[in-house]
Every structure is written in C-alpha cells, then in structure tokens.
A and B are shown apart, each in its own frame.
Chain A
Amino acid sequence: MAKSDDTCILQGPLVFGNVVIGMCGIALTAECIFFVSDPHGLYPLLEATENDDIYAAAWIGIFVGFALFALSILGIVGVIKSNRTLLLVYIILMLITYAFEMASCITAATHRDFLTPNLFLKQMLERYQKSETVNNNDKWMAEGVTKTWDKLMLQNQCCGVRGPSDWQEYMSAFRITHSDADFPWPRNCCVMDAQGSPVNLDGCKLGVPGYYNSNGCYDAISGPMNTHAWGVAWFGFAILCWTFCVLFGTMFYWSRIEY
C-alpha cells in the first residue's frame, strides 16, 4: 500500500495521542470507581434526595474509561497498519464513547448545582430520626439519613447543616420524638468523651462554648461531593478535548491513506 508523506508524519502524533487517551481512560475508570465506592459514606443522603445523578455519571465514567482504553489500542493498531477498516471502526466506536462521556460530564456538572444547603437541611429535618414512616422505602431512607447524620456529626464535630440553630428554627421529625427541653439539638451535637457520652450535658443543652459543636456540617458534605462531581466533569471534559483532536487527526489520516 502506498503512503504519502502526510500520512507518515501523522502516524507518530496519532499513536502518541492514542497512548494518552488509553492512559486517561484507565485514570478515569480508577477515579470513577473511587467515587462510586463512596469513601465518605454520603450516598444515603443523595439517595434520599432522589437525585443521585452524579453517581450515575460516575458509573458511566467507569465504562467509558475502559472503552477509551480498549479503543486506543485499536486506534494504535489501525494507525500503524494504516488499515482503513480498522480506523473506520475506531472512529465510529470512539464517537459513541464520546457521546456517552459528554452525557456523563454534563450530568455531573448540572446535578452538582442541585446539591444546595437548603436541600440537605430540608431532608435532615424531614427524615432524621423519623419514626412514623409511611412505607418500606420511606423507612429505608430515614434509616440511611439518620445513620449518616449521626456518623457525620460525630466524626466531623459539627451539628446540623448550618449550625445547631437549624434544630431550633424549624420543626422536624426529630422534634416529634425528642422534647425540646431535653434535646434542643441531637445528642451527637455535644462534645463527646472517649466513652461516647457528652462531656457536659447541661452545657451542651445551653450551648456553652466547648461543650457543643457550633459549626455546621455542610462543608463536610459539600466538600466530597464537589470533588466527586468536578472530578468527573472536568477530567472528562479534558479527556474529551484531547480526544477531539486525536479523532480529527485520525479522520484526516483515514481519508488520506490509500487502498
């Protein structure tokens, strides 16, 4: 098969481009597996908002990353052999993968914006320690939210979304079962000793500094979720920009190689 000079020059950069795509694909898969594994245990909060699309975006990212890796190998083989069929298959499959990754990026970026403090506040007030659950699904979500918040408040030394006053400003499911006089805010908002009981219960109930957690938990929630969403969205965006160039070059290469 005869080759012109153009194609000879293009081969090097295209192989390099495909190598980078392959490595980025593996990195994307690893990153998305990390996010899906939910190391901070915040998934029950998202599940209860019925808006866990950033997790869907991460799942798509896992498969897209793997597809990018496989296709990059196909691309390298196709470019080196200058085989039009292989390269056509490569281009078409890459376009499909491109479309999926676009969907994943845009979903992650868009749905991150829905995770506002008010969303978590409303959910916390309505579900934390909710005792009169309507059905199994409701019960499951309430248990998830309760366990997650208890763990959050204990581990991050925080209380409520913006602060302990959240529990005072609004009625809540918690308030129905726990009297305001005994529990102005949940016990986990108190500073605990090594055995897991409050250091000074009366001080905690009054809000004496040093005996209760005065800061809100929103930072502890939004930090990992932001990392998750932006990690998927921006890294995917970077990969897609690079893939665009490589695909363009491959299409040009494909059209110039002769039978």
Chain B
Amino acid sequence: PAPPALLPYVPRVPPAALPGKLTATTFALERPCCVFDRHANASDTVWLAVAFANASAAFRNPPSRADVPPYEQLPTAHSYMTLETAAATYACSASSPAVLRVGGDTLCGGQGGRDPCNGPLPSPGPYRVKFLVMGCHGPKAETRWSDPILLRRAGSPSTIDPAPVRHGSDVVVIASILASLGAVLAVAVLCATGAEAWGSLCHQDSGTGAFARRSYRTHHIPPALPQPLPPGCRCSPPGLGCFAPRPPGPCPAK
C-alpha cells in the first residue's frame, strides 16, 4: 500500500488567550478546517496521534484500525491515538467549535472502556501530535508533527508568602499621632493633679500655689454693741462699765 500523503498542515495549540487551553492533564488544539478534503472521502476517519516528544520519531502509523494503539498503552508505547472522528466533521462547510480538547474525558479508560479513549494525560509531557486519516485499507494521509506541547506543572501553595510587603504609611501616621496625643494628655493630667497635690501639701495656710487659688470664707464676727446704761449708774466713759452705788448687779458682759 502507498505511504500516506504528507499534508503540510502543522497542528497547533490555538493562539487565542484561553486560560484552559493548557492545563495539567489536557490541552486544546485548533480544529483543522479544509485540510483533509482532498484526501479523505466520506467513509474515512481522522485520528489524532499523540506521542511523547522524544518518541514521535519512533511512531509508526498503524496499518489498520485494529492496530491503533489505545490510550492505556501510553505509558508503555509512549504514544496512542484518539479522537476518532468522521472526516466530514473537518470539512470546509462544517460549522463546529474551533477547538478540540485532548484529555477531556475522565469516564473512559481503565476497565475495558470503549476505544478510542480521550483520557487525561498522565504527565506534563512534552507531547507532539499529528492527524492521521485512516481509510478501510490503512492510513491515507497524515499531517506533520506539531511542535512540542508542554503541559502545566502546578506549584505548591506552601511557596506562597502571605506576609505584607511593608506597612502602609497610614498606620505610621495614625500610630505616631495618637501616641503623641495620648502622651501629652497623660503628662498634662499628671502635671495638673501633681501641682494640685503639691499645692495643698506645701501651702496649707496661705495657699498661693500656681494653679490653686482658694477662696476664704470670712467668718463675720459682729462687734459688741454698746448696751444702754442701767438707770442708777453714774456715767463713766462708755465701755468702762458702770459704777453703781448699790451692790453690783449683774453687769453686762463685754
């Protein structure tokens, strides 16, 4: 049988910025449009061959559908084929999503699932892929191998450092101003009460402390009023008492 025709098309990861185009176990490929129309007819199928980048040179096209390496053989054979689709899906007129996702089927593989399995890739790779058109009698056309596709490797969260870079200036402003205000208040209160206490201790009688000023409630002692002289008294200068000819009665007290 004639060797399969080599198409110049190179499969590639879509250039669009899709965050999910390369994950740890899957990758996306641009859908080849209008590539196989000249070489495939309606009954042919297009497969995707996936191989480790260092094993792509050793990949041999399977002579028939029965020899297609399945997904489970990837660890041993270092390659497998998947995404079996009718050639008509890649025809020019077909309208379909622009992207193929390799590795997106988590339900197949393992316990004798149906072939072909588009299971998640077990390691970050790198991988190379090519499309292969298989007819009834074997491969009819193939594309070139893609560039190596390296999948993501996730880092450990323990490498994340949560510490802040530096304290904001707001903190410094608030802390310094408040601390100084608080200190001034404390000092003022201490001074005020201290001066008060000192004033009351040292100037007990004539308090003329700097802050304290006591007011004196003057106690008003009324002066004694002159009493009217008793009738028998001969006058003497007032205030000296009275000289009575009789035995003295109770004289008014001064």
Contacts and interface: CB of A to CB of B under 8 A. Distances in A.
Contacts of B99: 206
A122 B178 CA distance: 34
A153 interface: no
Contact-residue bracket for chain B: 35 or more
A164 B19 CA distance: 8
A169 B153 CA distance: 7
Interface in A152-202: 163-165, 168-172, 175, 179-182, 184, 202
A259 B207 CA distance: 13
Contacts of B120: 179-181
Contacts of B19: 163-165, 168, 184, 207, 212, 214
A113 B164 contact: yes
Nearest to B182: A102
B164 A255 contact: no
A181 B157 contact: no
Nearest to B160: A122
Interface in B79-120: 97, 99, 101, 103-106, 119-120
B181 A240 contact: yes
Contact of B182 (A98, A109, A182, A248): A98
A98 B25 CA distance: 59
B178 A113 contact: no
A170 B160 contact: yes
A122 B21 CA distance: 24
Contact of B162 (A119, A165, A240, A251): A119
Contacts of B21: 206-207
Given A98-B182, A247-B185, A251-B189, A106 B160 contact: no
Given A116-B164, A122-B160, A180-B24, A170 B104 contact: no
Nearest to B120: A181
B208 to A, nearest CB: 13
A8 interface: no
Interface residues of A, number: 57
B219 interface: no
B186 interface: yes
Contacts of B156: 170-171
B214 interface: yes
B215 interface: yes
A175 B174 contact: no
B237 interface: no
Contacts of A98: 182, 185
B170 A259 contact: no
Q: Is the interface of A mostly helix, strand, loop or mixed?
A: helix
B171 A109 contact: yes
A181 B102 CA distance: 9
B213 interface: yes
A123 B183 CA distance: 40
B205 interface: no
Contacts of A180: 23-26, 120
B67 interface: no
A110 B23 contact: no
A59 to B, nearest CB: 19
B251 interface: no
A181 B24 CA distance: 8
B20 A205 contact: yes
A2 interface: yes
A99 B178 CA distance: 10
A105 interface: yes
Contacts of B24: 168, 180
B104 A181 contact: yes
Contacts of A175: 154
Nearest to B154: A171
Interface string A210-247: 00101000000000000000100110010011001001
Smallest CB-CB A-B distances: 4 pairs: A207-B20, A207-B19, A119-B162, A181-B120
Interface of B: 18-21, 23-26, 28, 97, 99, 101, 103-106, 119-120, 152, 154-157, 160-165, 167-168, 170-171, 174-175, 177-179, 181-182, 184-186, 188-189, 192, 195-196, 211-215
